[in-house]
Amino acid sequence: MSVTSTVPLEAELARLIVEALHLETAPEEIDPEAPLFNEGLGLDSIDALEIALAISRRYGFQLRSDDERNHRIFASLRALAAHVEKHRTR
Amino acid sequence: MTAWTRQKERGSLAALRLMTRLVFALGWRAGHALLRPITAYFVLTAPAAQRRAVRAYLARALGRAPGLRDVFRLYFVFACTMLDRVFLLAGRSAGYAVEVVGLERLDARLRAGQGVILLGAHLGSFEVLRVLAGADCPVEIRPMMYEENARQADALFNALDPARAGSVIALGRPDTMLRARECLERGGIVGLLGDRAPRGERMLRVPFLGAAAPFPAGPHLLAHVLGAPVMLFFGLWRGPRRYELRFEPFAERISLDRADRPAALAEWAARYAARLEALCRAHPYNWFNFYDFWGEFEDPPPSPSAPCPAAEAAAPR
């Protein structure tokens, strides 16, 4: 159940996350504004690496650890989508 | 971070600086002479639960009922490694004899530019690695630790080895694994300990010294995701200022089948525990988990901790 509307890239990323992590959750069930880690979707840092790898394969850019915005980037599906939109090369 | 925790950290950092200055002023010999009375104090004042846990471990490792002498020896060896840690961290390794075993395998990989995961335990002192790092280790070494320990270790490094401050990778953050992967890609070493984890971490019960004990799944999962070779390492205390630093091959690659991941994880944890068991039997007084490791006693175990606060501040995970 999602109260907030989902934009196309968010939906695409949700599918990518569900596929990369083999989640039981359906992509459309991921609330774009809910935290991805801990209390939200319950992801951990290993999942974060898998997501980072999947994103670099699909969108052609690397997520780097020295990016101080990492906490914000991984805060929610929406934040992640915004970051991907800005840096994608394909 | 609240002002209170900041202040507390500043306070303990000042205490740490004072303590180390004292030890350096007195010298290793005087510091070492103090270890017996200090050990006696901690043995005599150890909480009942800790005493019971220590005796339970010793009985398993020694294969007989431990005497007070055994308990004293375990605490004494721990105290020795604490004192040495201060000297080793500060780079004052003159007077130390470290026999290195198995370095060729590690060295070959590093020279080939391949990153390596070093998996250790709370067995002996892994600060002995510092001797190596100081000597001619060609690559960066980054310890991975749980948040709380990472903060304490950073404080310790700040006080004793400022060049290494910031080298710790805190576990459990979104970018933890990105940091680890980048270090490995640069041909570096990430090190972590595989025998202990904070409450709430996923644990696997595997055979260890005669009974099932909980070991964290995290290190093996992490190695799987990072895809780098894993070697075991142990800095065993063999006598005053005498250590044996062992490197042993563990896995070319830990690769977990998604279909049966829990079983595969348990298998790796069991292999790790089996190796640890052999070392505990060979070096029984090097084991520094002073809590109910098997979870075999009724009352709630205290949070895993070392026997004294100063030591705890210094004990990395």
Spell out the per-residue pLDDT of chain A, length 90, in tens. 444 566 899 999 999 999 998 888 899 999 999 888 877 777 888 888 889 889 999 999 988 887 777 788 888 999 999 999 999 998
Q: Which residues of B touch A63 (CB under 8 A)?
A: 178
Q: What is the pLDDT of residue A70?
A: 79
Per residue in B259-317, pLDDT (tens digit) is 888 899 999 999 999 999 999 999 999 999 999 999 998 655 555 544 443 333 333 43
Q: Give contacts of A 28-47 with B, CB under 8 A.
A: 37, 44-46
Range of the structural domain that residue B97 is part of: 3-314
DSSP per-residue codes, B191-226: EEESS---TTS-EEEEEETTEEEEEESHHHHHHHHH
Test mutation, B140, B171, B177, chain A, max A CBs within 10 A: B177
Are the beta carbons of B178 and A22 separated by less than 8 Å? Answer: no
C-beta atoms of B174 and A22 within 8 A? no
Please report which helix (H) or strand (E) contains residue B15, including its range.
Answer: helix B3-26
Q: Is A5 on the interface with B (CB under 8 A)?
A: no
Q: In chain A, which residue's Cα lies nearest the Cα of B174?
A: A45
Burial track B264-283 (b if 16+ CB lie within 10 A, e otherwise): bbbbbbbbbbebbbebbeeb
User: Any idea what DSSP says for residue B123?
Assistant: B
Q: State both tokens at B289.
A: 């988990």
Low-confidence ranges of chain B (pLDDT < 70): 1-13, 15-16, 133-137, 298-317
Q: What pLDDT, on the 0 to 100 scale, is given for residue B17?
A: 74
Nearest neighbour of A48 by CB, restricted to B175, B221, B258: B175
* Burial category of B246 from C-beta neighbours within 10 Å (exposed 0-12, middle 13-18, buried 19 and up): buried
Strand partners for B222 = none
pLDDT of residue B308: 41
Residues contacting residue B251 through CB under 8 Å, at least 6 positions apart: B223, B229, B230, B268
Nearest to A65 among B172, B182, B258 (CB): B182
Tokens for A55, please give them: 């994103």
Residues 44-83 of chain A whose Cβ lies under 8 A from any Cβ of chain B: 44-46, 48-50, 52, 63-65, 67, 70-71, 73-74
Q: Among A22, A50, A65, whose Cβ lies nearest the Cβ of B175?
A: A65
In chain A, whose CA is at the least distance from the CA of B202? A44
Instruction: Please report the pLDDT score of residue B22 as a whole number.
Output: 81
DSSP secondary structure, B235-289, as one string: EEEEETTEEEEEEEEEES-----STTHHHHHHHHHHHHHHHHHHHHHHSGGGB--
Do the chains contact at B175 and A22, CB–CB below 8 Å?
no
Q: Which of B147, B173, B175 to mutate to test the interface with A (most CBs of A within 10 A)?
A: B175
The number of helix segments (H) and strand segments (E) in chain A equals 4, 0
CATH class of domain segment(s) A8-87: mainly alpha
| A44 neighbourhood in chain B, CB within 8 Å | 172
The count of domains in chain B is: 1
Determine, for residues B177 and A74 on separate chains, whether the beta-carbon distance falls below 8 Å. no
Interchain proximity A64–B182, CB inside 8 Å? yes
Q: What does each C-alpha distance from B120 to B22, B62, B192, B200, B245 come to in angstroms?
A: 30, 21, 6, 21, 11
- Give the model confidence (pLDDT) of B199-229 as tens digits: 888 899 999 999 999 999 999 999 998 999 9
Contact A45 B177 (CB under 8 A): yes
Lateral strand order in the sheet of B242-251: B97-101, B242-251, B230-239, B116-120, B189-193, B141-146, B169-171
Q: Mutate one of A41, A43, A45 to test the B interface: name it (highest B CB count within 10 A).
A: A45
Q: Which two tokens stand for residue B143?
A: 């310890």
CB contacts < 8 A, A to B, total: 45
